[in-house]
């Protein structure tokens, strides 16, 4: 954790709240601060919620992107900005074929602060669409991740079409089994997985044996996440990560540390 203390101090100062006692510090790989959130939670309040949950750094993408910039301006060492290709929620189902989205992404990337593009939704049938192809080209040229909320068929299509791009699989595909995730990790070395909303990892608080096997086999390929997709989700961030801490504590310590924060720090070192 060398070099992390200034960030912790920054979060405490901004939030006025010390992190809750926790077994592991956390890197949250799935946070949104979208337009409906802005009136309900100031950037300072959002940072206080993350700090209280033990989150030291977080990947943030927003609809529109201005929400991410609001947080990044307050805590540039704590916020890992991803560029979401949605100007409004209406773009969710059509972004892959919209030239306006292509122009939006190209213009926003000129800021030079982003570490990835996404989170975006996509079907396998649309993985080769013109805007997706351009986004993948931009990601490859700039060394950015793509964060994709897709099923297992679509993630394979993306990884096959764009083998030079590193991909962060949102929600582990939402419903993909542990064995499916393990199979894809074995086949695709540029695939990483975040576990937002995957309560099936530890139903009732007990770590699922199949997930445990995959975590131990691929400890460097997983990260935790929350997904504040709706404004109400901000009220459960601390409780959600309390449950995450519980199942992390059932893994070998070196595996738990990797998933909790080390993988995120290695892939997205603080500026």
| The pLDDT value given to residue 184 | 98
CA neighbor of 170 nearest in space, from 30, 6, 16, 28: 30
For the chain, percent of residues with pLDDT exceeding 70: 92
Residue ranges per structural domain of the chain = 25-267
CA torsion 24→221→111→40, rounded to 10°?
A: -50
Mean pLDDT rounded to a whole number for the chain: 93
Q: Which residue has the higher pLDDT, 21 or 174?
A: 174
Mean pLDDT of 155-178: 98
Report, as an integer, the average pLDDT of 169-194. 98
| Whether CATH 3.90.1150.10 fits 25-267 | no
Q: State what percent of residues in the chain have pLDDT above 90.
A: 91
Rounded to whole angstroms, the Cα distance separating 108 from 100 reads 12
Confidence band of 22 (pLDDT split at 50, 70, 90): low
- When pLDDT is averaged across residues 100-113 and rounded to a whole number, the result is 98
Strand bridging mode 116-121 / 26-31? unpaired
110 Cβ partners below 8 Å, 6+ apart?
A: none
**pLDDT exceeds 90 at position 45:** yes
Enter the pTM of the model: 0.92
Instruction: Look at residue 271 in the predicted model and tell me its pLDDT.
Output: 85
| pLDDT top residue among 220 and 18 | 220
Under a CB-based contact definition with an 8 Å cutoff, are residues 78 and 58 in contact? yes
Mean pLDDT for 94-115 is 97
List Cα–Cα distances, 119 to 17, 166, 212, 222, 243, in angstroms.
29, 13, 26, 16, 24
**What is the pLDDT at residue 10?**
52
Q: What is the mean pLDDT of residues 240-264?
A: 97
């Amino acid at each position: 954790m060398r070099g992390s203390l200034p960030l912790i101090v920054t979060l405490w100062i901004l939030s006025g709240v010390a992190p809750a006692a926790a077994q592991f510090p956390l890197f949250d790989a799935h946070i949104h601060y979208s337009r409906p959130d802005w009136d309900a939670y100031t950037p300072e309040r959002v940072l206080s919620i993350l700090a209280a949950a033990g989150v030291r750094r977080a990947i943030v993408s927003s609809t529109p992107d201005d929400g991410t910039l609001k947080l990044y301006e307050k805590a540039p060492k704590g916020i890992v900005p991803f560029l979401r290709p949605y100007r409004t929620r209406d773009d969710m189902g059509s972004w892959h074929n919209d030239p306006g989205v292509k122009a939006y992404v190209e213009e926003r990337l000129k800021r030079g602060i982003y570490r990835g593009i996404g989170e975006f939704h996509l079907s396998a049938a649309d993985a080769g669409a013109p805007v997706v192809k351009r986004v993948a080209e931009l990601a490859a040229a700039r060394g950015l991740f793509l964060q994709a909320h897709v099923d297992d068929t679509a993630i394979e299509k993306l990884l096959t079409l764009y083998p030079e791009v590193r991909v962060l699989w949102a929600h582990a595909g939402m419903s993909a089994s542990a064995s499916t995730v393990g199979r894809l990790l074995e086949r695709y070395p540029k695939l990483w997985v975040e576990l937002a909303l995957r309560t099936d990892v530890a139903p009732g608080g007990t770590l699922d044996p199949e997930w445990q096997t995959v975590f131990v086999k691929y400890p460097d390929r997983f990260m935790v996440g929350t997904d504040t997709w709706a404004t109400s989700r901000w009220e459960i961030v601390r409780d959600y990560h309390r449950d995450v801490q519980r199942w992390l504590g059932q893994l070998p310590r070196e595996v738990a540390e990797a998933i909790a924060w080390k993988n995120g720090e290695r892939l997205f070192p603080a500026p």
